[in-house]
């Protein structure tokens, strides 16, 4: 019989894998991996503000990261600087300001390493509510806007000609990424969350041609990585978040050449 904390860890990891896989496909297609990293860095500021003000850290992360994403979209629209430059400035500014704000948290207990690298074995029932509540919102909005998102990914001008409001669809995508980042921090941490979006989707891309098939396969590979990582961590006594990412990397490394062989 599994211990309760292992059951909660598996439930949280499975929930995150199911939402990170399909959303990660758009991150891969639209080359938004660095944007995902930047969102994750801004999450530390949300956690810090949540601790100082007394609000839930997950809610604080969603609010701050959403503000970060909206500011970036506005700055991109004004074309003041190149996107990668803006991402570099905003991401590192948010990370640094978050550390400064944490210094005002007083004697509150704060385990920085668990937020940087994840600590899925300490997931609580409240964390599960956030994972599955946020996951349902993400999957419903993703399903309802799948055609618009896919069309915009193929060609933004074509999507605009077809009546897609590209600015709002772009905003929706980054808000969905924000929710996934916020609910995933306890699982793999700020520094590794983008890998859970990118690696399973990149693995699935080698095997599936259709967008829908790739989304389903990405969720499946994410599930394999989470379950393998948690059990590997328990057996080898290694950090759980990095173990999940390592499992995802091994899957990619093994399946990439096999997929190339099948294509030939």
Indicate the DSSP class of residue 165. -
pLDDT above 80: residue 262:
no
Q: How far apart are CA 91 and CA 69, in angstroms?
A: 10
Q: What is the mean pLDDT of residues 186-194?
A: 81
pLDDT in tens, 70-95: 888 787 777 777 777 878 888 888 88
pLDDT at residue 219, rounded to an integer: 92
Q: How does the average pLDDT of the chain come out, rounded?
A: 84
pLDDT at residue 218, rounded to an integer: 93
Q: How far apart are CA 204 and CA 225, in angstroms?
A: 13
Radius of gyration of the chain (CA): 18
Tell me the residue ranges of DSSP E strands in 23-91.
none
pLDDT at residue 259, rounded to an integer: 77
**All structural domains of the chain with their residue ranges:** 4-263
Q: What is the mean pLDDT of residues 251-261?
A: 86
pLDDT above 70: residue 2:
no
Q: How far apart are CA 6 and CA 21, in angstroms?
A: 22
Confidence category of residue 192, pLDDT binned at 50, 70, 90: confident
Nearest to 33 by CA among 242, 169, 192: 192
Token pair, residue 145, equals 């806007």
Using an 8 Å Cβ cutoff, are 66 and 177 in contact? no
Q: How far apart are CA 63 and CA 60, in angstroms?
A: 5
Confidence category of residue 247, pLDDT binned at 50, 70, 90: very high
Q: What is the mean pLDDT of residues 56-69?
A: 83
pLDDT in tens, 12-57: 889 989 998 899 998 888 888 888 888 888 888 888 887 778 788 7
| CA atoms in the 13 A half-sphere facing the CB of 97 | 14
Q: What is the mean pLDDT of residues 210-238?
A: 89
Token pair, residue 246, equals 């390592």
pLDDT in tens, 22-33: 999 988 888 888
Confidence category of residue 248, pLDDT binned at 50, 70, 90: very high
Q: How far apart are CA 180 and CA 200, in angstroms?
A: 15
pLDDT in tens, 82-136: 777 878 888 888 888 888 887 776 656 666 777 777 778 778 888 888 889 988 9
How many CB atoms are closer than 10 A to CB 252? Answer: 18
Kindly give the residue spans of alpha helices, DSSP state H, lying in 145-192.
146-154, 156-161, 166-188
Report the CATH number of the 4-263 domain: 1.10.3470.10
């Amino acid at each position: 019989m599994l211990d309760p904390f292992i059951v909660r860890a598996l439930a949280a990891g499975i929930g995150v894998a199911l939402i990170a896989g399909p959303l990660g496909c758009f991150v891969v297609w639209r080359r938004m991996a660095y944007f995902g990293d930047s969102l994750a860095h801004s999450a530390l500021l949300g956690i810090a503000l949540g601790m100082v003000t007394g609000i839930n850290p997950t809610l604080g992360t969603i609010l701050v990261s959403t503000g970060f994403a909206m500011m970036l979209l506005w700055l991109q629209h004004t074309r003041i600087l190149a996107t990668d430059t803006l991402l570099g400035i905003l991401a590192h500014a948010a990370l640094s300001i978050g550390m400064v704000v944490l210094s005002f948290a007083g004697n509150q207990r704060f385990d920085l390493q668990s937020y940087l690298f994840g600590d899925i074995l300490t997931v609580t029932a409240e964390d599960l509510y956030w994972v599955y509540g946020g996951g349902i919102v993400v999957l419903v909005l993703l399903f309802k806007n799948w055609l618009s998102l896919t069309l915009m990914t193929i060609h933004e001008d074509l999507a605009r000609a077809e009546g897609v409001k590209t600015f709002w669809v772009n905003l929706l995508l980054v808000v969905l990424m924000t929710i996934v980042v916020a609910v995933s921090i306890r699982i793999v941490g700020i520094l590794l969350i983008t890998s859970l979006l990118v690696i399973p989707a990149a693995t699935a891309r080698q095997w599936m041609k259709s967008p829908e098939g790739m989304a389903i396969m990405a969720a499946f590979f994410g599930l394999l990585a989470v379950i393998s990582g948690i059990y590997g961590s328990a057996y080898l006594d290694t950090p759980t978040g990095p173990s999940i990412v390592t499992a995802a990397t091994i899957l990619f490394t093994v399946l990439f050449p096999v997929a190339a062989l099948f294509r030939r």
